[in-house]
Amino acid sequence: MKPFEYYAPETLEAAVEIMARYEEGVYPVAGGTDLIPKMRYGQIQPKVVVNLKRIPGLAEIVPQDDGSLKIGALATLTQVASSPKVRERYLMVAQIAGKMASVPVRNLATVGGNLCNAAPSADLAPPLIALDAEAVIFGPQGERRVPLEAFFTGPGQTVLGRGELLTAVVVPPPDPQARGTYIKHAHREALDIAIVGVAAWVRFEEGGSVCEDAHIVLGAVAPTPIRAREAEAAIRGAPLTEERIAEAGRLAAEAARPIDDVRGSAWYRREMVAVLTRRALFSVTISQ
């Protein structure tokens, strides 16, 4: 590892001020579970590392007045998995946070790190996008918010500009008529990266089986997590029958743009998108 400058600011403003000084080579660090291995293996060589852990408030999970939930960027996976505020409102998010990586990694790894690392396989992205979460960004020009769906611009790339940090994600109030699930397909149950991940969120008509709205989000099968919008349209406004679910699976597979890599071929990934989309939609229908 090459030497680098290290800062541990105690306010958000100080962190942003330090980061904005540099055009490139400056990396914030939260849990370090993505950043430190990349540094160790020489994949990145930071000139400056800015530790965010001393900034108060960034790890809090706080219900907002409008019923939404603000999850601080520095909240760890363990915190998210065990938080009653997350579990009661967005069970699929708590469940996947509690299954990612391993206990020691989950105790360090943060929500913000998972999203800002922007791996196409990042497990928190599909369920949070399916829930219509927003990214809260703080930088030299103050605070701005972007839909999480628009946060990712490519593998390892986000809309974050010079000096900007992700401070939180805000998840809209839970909808009592909606059900959601995230299915991760990996070679192993634990300590493995998704070959394919599919999140489905469906709002049903009150007391019925008609799907009023649907979000289907695919992970690990494109340069960024993506919404399968044609698949969503195919099930909106009608009962979720077996035929419509099969059609949604087919359309979701068509939306995928997977690559071949060590974890699976593009062909296999596409097939699994259809399978997991069907499985996710059956699952939300049954739990209705």
Ligand X SMILES: Cc1cc2nc3c(=O)[nH]c(=O)nc-3n(C[C@H](O)[C@H](O)[C@H](O)COP(=O)(O)OP(=O)(O)OC[C@H]3O[C@@H](n4cnc5c(N)ncnc54)[C@H](O)[C@@H]3O)c2cc1C
Q: Which residues bind ligand X (CB under 6 A)?
A: 27-35, 37, 52, 73, 100-101, 105, 108-110, 112-114, 116-117, 122-123, 160, 165-166, 191, 193
* Residue number with CB closer to ligand X (32 or 172): 32
* Residue number with CB closer to ligand X (41 or 206): 41
To ligand X, the closest distance from the beta carbon of 21 in angstroms equals: 16
* Residue number with CB closer to ligand X (154 or 239): 154
Angle at CA of residue 93, ends 89 and 96, nearest 5°: 145
Tokens of 196: 């394919």
* Burial degree of 36 (CB within 10 A; 0-12, 13-18, 19+): middle
To ligand X, the closest distance from the beta carbon of 260 in angstroms equals: 20
In this structure, how many other beta carbons lie within 10 angstroms of the beta carbon of residue 186? 19
* Residue number with CB closer to ligand X (119 or 251): 119
Nearest residue (beta carbon) to ligand X: 113
To ligand X, the closest distance from the beta carbon of 208 in angstroms equals: 35
In this structure, how many other beta carbons lie within 10 angstroms of the beta carbon of residue 284? 22
* Residue number with CB closer to ligand X (161 or 239): 161
Give 154-159's long-range contacts (Cβ < 8 A, gap of 24+): 154/118, 154/223, 154/224, 155/118, 155/119, 155/120, 155/223, 155/224, 156/117, 156/118, 156/119, 157/118, 158/115, 158/116, 158/118
Supply the DSSP symbol for 205: P
* Residue number with CB closer to ligand X (46 or 249): 46
To ligand X, the closest distance from the beta carbon of 31 in angstroms equals: 3
To ligand X, the closest distance from the beta carbon of 186 in angstroms equals: 7
To ligand X, the closest distance from the beta carbon of 149 in angstroms equals: 17
- For 230, the enclosing helix (H) or strand (E) is helix 229-235
* Residue number with CB closer to ligand X (123 or 134): 123
To ligand X, the closest distance from the beta carbon of 101 in angstroms equals: 3
To ligand X, the closest distance from the beta carbon of 109 in angstroms equals: 3
Could you tell me the CA-to-CA distances from 50 to 23, 58, 74, 260 in Å, in that order? Answer: 14, 14, 14, 35
* Residue number with CB closer to ligand X (122 or 211): 122
Query: Burial letters for 68-100: b for 16+ Cβ neighbours within 10 Å, e otherwise?
Result: bbbbbbbbbbbbbbebeebbebbbbbbbbbebb
Task: Report the candidate in 228, 222, 278 with the shortest Cα–Cα distance to residue 249.
Answer: 278
